[in-house]
């Protein structure tokens, strides 16, 4: 374990998570903001990252040059967009630095590219970086394992702010995967992601998703286990974005001395039983 502060780059520095990360890195022992990146043409280029995040000037100017930023850094924290994260994964692998990916909405092809980059890099990726949601995933897996799928239906409900662009949320999919693991099934072939019109009765053993969007909701998730005459509900409510940012910085520090590989927050938090 190194005694020096881990030099971190925040990409998507002007975004909701980017600004939160700049604040959380500032208050975390063992981590320091090395650089802050935005896309070329962004109005944030040239601004002081601390000033943008409400901390006052910290002497780190936002640039659009990730290659230069990664060169002398040890990790990059990335809550951006799927195409951007795939691109950053290639650059992070070249620079042999830790890449923490919070971006959601990645396609199967994107995931494959990230996994390929993890042959040379340490990538930690999760649809939700908070301790609470990852613990919830463990509980959902246990509940799904315990309850007979012919008697119990599983539905995942989520609500987010009106700016969110992907659905179902990364967290809803993480919880669906946990339920599928508990049941020993493949989520992709057992999920019902939308319902509309004359759907017919619910197919036994499927895992359903429902998506709500509105206002400034940070992130609400509920897994409903519905039996005959009874409901079990397991929920998580995010009060503010600092829970995700703290988890992401913890993941970067955890991965600092790990071998190249594709890790999840369950690995970081010691909750991985697989």
Ligand X SMILES: O=C(O)C1=N[C@H](C(=O)O)C[C@H](O)C1
Q: Which residues bind ligand X (CB under 6 A)?
A: 104, 127-128, 160, 164, 169-171, 219
SS3 231: strand
Nearest-approach distance from CB 1 to ligand X, in angstroms: 29
Nearest-approach distance from CB 261 to ligand X, in angstroms: 23
Is 14 annotated in some ligand binding site?
A: yes
Is 46 annotated in some ligand binding site?
A: no
Q: What span, in angstroms and rounded, lies between the C-alpha atoms of 126 and 264?
A: 6
Q: Pick from 10, 5, 2, 6: which is nearest to 76 by CA? A: 10
- For residue 271 the two structure tokens come to 């909750």
- How do strand 220-227 and strand 207-213 relate by DSSP bridges? unpaired
- Look at residue 63 and give the partner it binds from ligand NDP, ligand X, none, a contact being a CB closer than 5 to 8 Å depending on partner kind: none
- For residue 255 the two structure tokens come to 């991965």
Binding stretches for ligand NDP (CB under 6 A):
11-12, 14-18, 37-39, 42, 79-81, 84, 102-105, 126-129, 170, 244
Closer CB to ligand X, 58 or 245, in the complex? 245
Q: What span, in angstroms and rounded, lies between the C-alpha atoms of 149 and 47?
A: 54
Nearest-approach distance from CB 230 to ligand X, in angstroms: 28
Q: Pick from 40, 12, 25, 42: which is nearest to 245 by CA? A: 25
Is 127 annotated in some ligand binding site?
A: yes
* Binding residue numbers for NADP(+): 39
Q: Which residues are annotated as a binding site?
A: 12-17, 38-39, 102-104, 126-129, 161, 170-171
């Amino acid at each position: 374990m190194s005694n020096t502060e881990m030099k971190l780059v925040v990409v998507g520095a002007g975004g909701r998570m980017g600004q939160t990360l700049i604040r959380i890195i500032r208050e975390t022992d063992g981590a320091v903001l090395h650089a802050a990146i935005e896309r070329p043409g962004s109005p944030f280029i040239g601004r002081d990252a601390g000033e943008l995040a409400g901390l006052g000037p910290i002497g780190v100017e936002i640039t659009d040059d990730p290659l230069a930023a990664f060169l002398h850094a040890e990790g990059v924290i990335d809550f951006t967009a799927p195409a951007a994260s795939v691109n950053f994964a290639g650059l992070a692998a070249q620079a042999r630095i830790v890449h923490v990916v919070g971006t959601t909405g990645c396609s199967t092809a994107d995931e494959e590219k990230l996994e390929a980059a993890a042959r040379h890099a340490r990538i930690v990726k999760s649809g939700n970086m908070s301790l609470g949601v990852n613990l919830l995933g463990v509980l959902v897996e246990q509940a799904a394992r315990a309850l007979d799928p012919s008697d119990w239906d599983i539905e995942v409900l989520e609500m987010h702010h009106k700016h969110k662009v992907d659905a179902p949320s990364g967290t809803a999919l993480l919880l669906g995967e946990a339920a599928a693991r508990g049941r020993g099934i493949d989520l992709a072939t057992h999920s019902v992601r939308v319902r509309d019109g004359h759907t017919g009765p619910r197919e036994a053993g499927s895992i359903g998703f429902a998506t709500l969007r509105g206002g400034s909701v940070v992130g609400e998730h509920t897994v409903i286990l519905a039996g005959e005459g009874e409901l079990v509900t397991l929920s998580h409510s995010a009060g503010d974005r600092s829970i995700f940012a703290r988890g992401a910085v913890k993941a970067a520090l955890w991965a600092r001395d790990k071998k190249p590989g594709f890790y999840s927050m369950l690995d970081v938090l010691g909750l991985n039983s697989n």
